[in-house]
Amino acid sequence: MRLWDIKAKGYSWFRHLPVIRKILEKEKRGLQFLLEHFTRFPSFLLDIGTGAGDTLDVFPDSLSIIGLDSSLQMILQARKKRPIDAVVGNTLWLPFKSKCMEWVSAIGLTEYLRDPFSFLDEICRILLPGGYFLVSISPPHFWNRLRNVLGHSLFLLNPCEWEREVALRGMVLLRKTKSGLQWQYLYQKRITNK
């Protein structure tokens, strides 16, 4: 059994511990700030790295969500919190056609990816021109390094390097914010690359 499948049942419980809950609430406030950009939400969202669904409540209830995670057990936990369509899949080979998604999110995911820029290439492949990408990264600092004791090797990203790589792929930064552990971004894919 894979580590995330083992962690699934206790994951939400752990995230409700007072200190962890406070960190998560700050992260959610940052996401809500980014979402204030929208006057009209797209009709559906692809949420990659859905996990146990702990951040799904920042999205409008009227929004249809497709959750993608590598762990079936995590997806089952997420479905207890909100009705979602679900796909068990790999972030480096997303099972979707090119240019088919209007809105994609990846919250709390990139730090678990050995190759976040290949993931970014997949996002650019599936995102429609003019589509939106809501994402968080974890920069290298003491608290993020301390998270390694929880059983995963984290691949922490330098925000300047991340922002440069995203811009090179034709994404425009609309908004960004920081929480205690994350930098959070809202991007839009250019309609035409000039």
Mean pLDDT across the chain = 88
Looking at residue 1, what is its pLDDT? 46
Q: What is the pLDDT of residues 90-129, one digit of tens each?
A: 999 999 999 999 999 999 999 989 999 999 999 999 999 9
CATH 3.40.50.150 fits 3-189, yes or no: yes
For the segment 44-54, the average pLDDT, to the nearest whole number, is: 94
Q: What is the pLDDT of residues 169-185, one digit of tens each?
A: 999 999 999 987 899 99
For the segment 23-38, the average pLDDT, to the nearest whole number, is: 89
Provide the pLDDT confidence category of residue 141 given band limits of 50, 70 and 90: confident
174 Cα distance to chain centroid: 16
User: Hey, what are 24's tokens?
Assistant: 């998560």
Radius of gyration of the chain (CA): 16
Give all strands (DSSP E) within the chain, no chain letters.
44-48, 64-69, 85-88, 101-106, 127-137, 171-178, 183-189
For the segment 145-151, the average pLDDT, to the nearest whole number, is: 68
pTM of the full predicted structure? 0.88
Residue with tokens 């559906």: 44
Looking at residue 150, what is its pLDDT? 65
